[in-house]
Homo-oligomer: A and B are copies of this chain.
Amino acid sequence: PFALTQLELDKLSKSIREDLLGTDHPVLSKAASYFFKATSDGGKKVRPMMVLLLSRALNWQRSDLPQAQRRLAEISEMIHTASLFHDDVIDGAETRRGAPSVHMVFGNKMAILAGDYLLARASICLARLRNVEVVETMSTIIEHLVRGEVMQLRGSTSSERSGERLVYYLRKNFYKTGSLMANSCKSAALLGEYPNELVDASYRFGKHVGMAFQLVDDVLDFEGSLSSLGKPALADLTAGLATAPVLFAAEECCDLEPLIDRKFRNTGDIERAVEYVFQSSGIERTKELARVHAESAMDAILELDSSLHRDSLVHLANKVVARTK
């Protein structure tokens, strides 16, 4: 069913690329459009795909897709990309999507500026949608992305018990992943001036897909390998981050707590943590939680009228949980 939007996604990258050209500075354009090159794999583009499919599912009675919702799909991907640029500088991540991250190619300075430039262009495109509620909704995303990154940098305080850590971690996931999907979907519905119930259902669909998506990402960091995910496996542990599989494992095996507290800094910590995770039901419980979120997403989307594109969104929620990369 995604073939339906594949052509539109290709056009999307092209359209973003064109928007980003025409600066006085070729390096800025190049850096900002780094992930929108025709040759780049450009990531999964889950966010714009969701916006496009949802817009079509909401508009099922008409065959064409309004230009505004197409632009919204682009904006969601521009904001996402800007946050990747800044996060990769902040986290010192060397690869992204199987290629060097933007700051490795263009330097930290240009990565910061390219991120700012993407945010500026996104704001201008947003303003041109001429819907202040959408502007406010989409601006909230940027604030949430910052909050999420700060929460990740800081980590939960060591005095907290594992249950509280999990709450903290899930809130961080909402800010870093759920909010962008939730508020982009909400904005798609707002642009079409649909009734509140559909706006709300769209928001919930995006939020739960986002939460499921991040949980599966965290599992794949344990199960995946460099070739399939485009970033090195165990990147989270290496960065000192305890994600859901570790936090669930810690509930069964209290030996993990001190490792989490010292951010897996000692020699052998990472290997021991991996061992604990695979001995416990950490991976399985994370997958289970992802499935619960995917089902909530499906419940939400089934509130829309039945259509081919609604089916695609159900399929998308399923695929997010089943994906292996």
* A interface with B by C-beta (< 8 Å): 23-25, 27-28, 86, 89-90, 109-110, 112-113, 115-117, 119-121, 123-124, 126-128, 130-133, 135-136, 139-140, 142-143, 145-147, 149-151, 153-154
Expressed in whole angstroms, the Cα–Cα distance for A132 and B133 within the complex equals: 10
Are A146 and B28 in contact, CB atoms less than 8 angstroms apart? yes
Give chain B residues whose Cβ lies under 8 Å from the Cβ of A145. 116, 120
Expressed in whole angstroms, the Cα–Cα distance for A139 and B135 within the complex equals: 11
Q: Closest residue of chain B to A118, judged by CB?
A: B146
The smallest C-beta distance from A105 to any residue of chain B, in angstroms, reads: 16
Expressed in whole angstroms, the Cα–Cα distance for A126 and B112 within the complex equals: 23
Expressed in whole angstroms, the Cα–Cα distance for A95 and B153 within the complex equals: 25
Which of A28, A133, A146: most chain B CB closer than 10 A?
A146
Are B139 and A112 in contact, CB atoms less than 8 angstroms apart? no
Name 27 interchain pairs, CB-CB below 8 A, sorted by A.
Answer: A23-B147, A24-B150, A24-B151, A25-B147, A25-B154, A27-B150, A27-B154, A28-B146, A86-B113, A90-B109, A109-B153, A113-B149, A113-B150, A116-B142, A116-B145, A119-B119, A119-B142, A120-B143, A123-B135, A123-B139, A124-B140, A124-B143, A127-B133, A127-B135, A127-B136, A127-B139, A132-B135
Give chain B residues whose Cβ lies under 8 Å from the Cβ of A28. 146-147, 150
Expressed in whole angstroms, the Cα–Cα distance for A82 and B316 within the complex equals: 38
Expressed in whole angstroms, the Cα–Cα distance for A24 and B24 within the complex equals: 39
Q: Closest residue of chain B to A125, judged by CB?
A: B139
Q: Closest residue of chain B to A89, judged by CB?
A: B112
Expressed in whole angstroms, the Cα–Cα distance for A126 and B126 within the complex equals: 12
Give chain B residues whose Cβ lies under 8 Å from the Cβ of A136. 124, 127-128
Q: Closest residue of chain B to A92, judged by CB?
A: B109
Expressed in whole angstroms, the Cα–Cα distance for A123 and B132 within the complex equals: 11
Expressed in whole angstroms, the Cα–Cα distance for A77 and B27 within the complex equals: 29
Expressed in whole angstroms, the Cα–Cα distance for A89 and B109 within the complex equals: 8
Q: Closest residue of chain B to A153, judged by CB?
A: B109
Given contacts A135-B132, A147-B24, contact A90 B112 (CB under 8 A): yes
